[in-house]
Structure 1
Amino acid sequence: MAYHSSRWIPRNQRLKFQIVNAVFTALVLVPQFYVLGRPKSTRYCRQPLLNNLSTSIAVSFIASGFAVIFTLIDPVPQSLWAAYHVFGLLSCGQGLCTAILTLTAAACAKTTPELYYTSLILTVASTFSTGFFMVRGGLWLTSKRPATEPRRNNE
């Protein structure tokens, strides 16, 4: 979304967009670091939600890096697009893991509530993100589909 949104802004005025991107990144990362640093988060939980949160933080950093790069580089090299799409698939897989771990960790809501509810929020965000990109990908595929000629009725 950062790439497409930044293209509406003239190249010499994208600093404002970079500031908005930095604020958004902080809003995403600060709560994750807060939960990671909580003493309750290290309590026993049957599922490795703490490890998953660490992975989510890493994915968030990489995503924000891609957002910065995409708003600075114009045009974007094909190799960077390829890396971004590989990252997107890995990120989708990480979101799926988050969903599975969260759905099987209901007991952790009592022992590590902040960690469990953060994982639940990340699951919802991942679900919305996956849905958004599935719809977007479907629309892209239908726009790239060759047009067919209408049938003529010779009767």
Structure 2
Amino acid sequence: MNVLVREYEECDAKKISNIITRNLFEVNIEDYGKEEIYKQAEKFKPEDIIKKFKNRLTYVAIYEGNVIGTASICNDFVKDKSIYWLLTVFVLPEYHKKGIGRILIEKLEEKARKLNAKRIIVDPSITGKNFYRKLGYEYEKSVDILNDEGHIKMEKYL
């Protein structure tokens, strides 16, 4: 697959909203109840994405002219500026297990290193934790504990 990765543009918001919503209802729903999925989906309307992504470094994956995935990093809400959070990593379900998520995360990790990041933290869903483990992320403090949204905290030192 010949995938192009570029920085997010506001015009991508509707496509990203669709990618996230499809993942929630087609993939994550297996690990969470309908009520939680509907609650999460409400947070990713196009207008919400435009607002949230203003303070994030976000990339999109393009295949045959279509946005098929996205991933972001941000360190705005942490005191230690050498720590970044990996956020909103989603790929259209039909492109899962084709290396798109890995490509996006590797691009963000590369950028984080250039920004002098020492560590990246991710708060994955139950559905995504094995994906992150394959990319070298480990449970913070070696404990598999769910937070209030049913996610676990994982980290990777760069």
Q: What is the TM-score with the length of structure 1 in the denominator?
A: 0.31
Higher relative contact order (CA 8 A, sep 6+): 1
Larger helix share, 1 or 2: 1
Of structures 1 and 2, the larger Rg is shown by 1
Larger strand share, 1 or 2: 2
Q: What is the TM-score with the length of structure 2 in the denominator?
A: 0.30
